[in-house]
Amino acid sequence: MNTKNWVKFFLRTLFIGGIVTIVTGFIVQWEKYEVFFTNFDMIEILSIAVWLMGVGFIFAVLSQMGFFAYLTLHRIGLGIFRSYWNSVQWVLIAFVLFDLVYFRYRAFAEDQDPLWPYVLVAVLIFSAGLVVAYLKSLQSDRRTFIPALFFMVVVTVVEWVPVLRVNDTDWLYLMIFPLFICNAYQLLTLPKFLQKSKEERIRVQRKKEVKA
């Protein structure tokens, strides 16, 4: 990817993270912010929106770091495990989902608390990951399904860990939606930016050949 398209890729992901966090923040904490909308206090609303956007930018940057880290990890995994890499990814997906349920329940559940809310979180993340992975496989080929699912489940949960350790419900929602959407956006749009970069390199090369 050339520099111009990388900057576009970065800025669009950043913008998506900021917007999604603003929307999520107002929805999650509507009871807290409702009074500002009722009183048409635009200064307060805008200040909250700016703060939420800044938080969203941080989530987006974290998402991008995770994405490029996974691209490196994927190449290393292919080099080490070769044809077994897909199986390894399935094991890691299962392990992370189990940990997401088991360790959160052990750490934060009160006496007599049901297990199903913790299971539900893992099921929803896995289900959403399946949808994105399916779209990715339609976009390219079936071989991308498991890597895409691994990224959407394992990497998203790893990126989510700082808030998972605190277990604040508002922050759990506030972080997971921007992370997941930014991850999905990067996964599904990277080929387009790579193709644009390739076409631009070809055009530049042709111009050089004409001048020569």
Kindly report the pTM of this predicted structure. 0.91
Q: Which residues of the chain have pLDDT under 70?
A: 211-212
The pLDDT of residue 111 is 79
Q: For the segment 101-147, what is each residue's pLDDT rounded down to a tens digit?
A: 999 998 888 878 899 999 999 999 999 999 999 999 999 888 899 99
Alpha-helix runs per DSSP H in the chain = 3-28, 30-38, 42-81, 85-108, 116-139, 145-150, 156-166, 169-211
**Number of residues written out for the chain:** 212
In eight-state DSSP terms, residue 168 is -
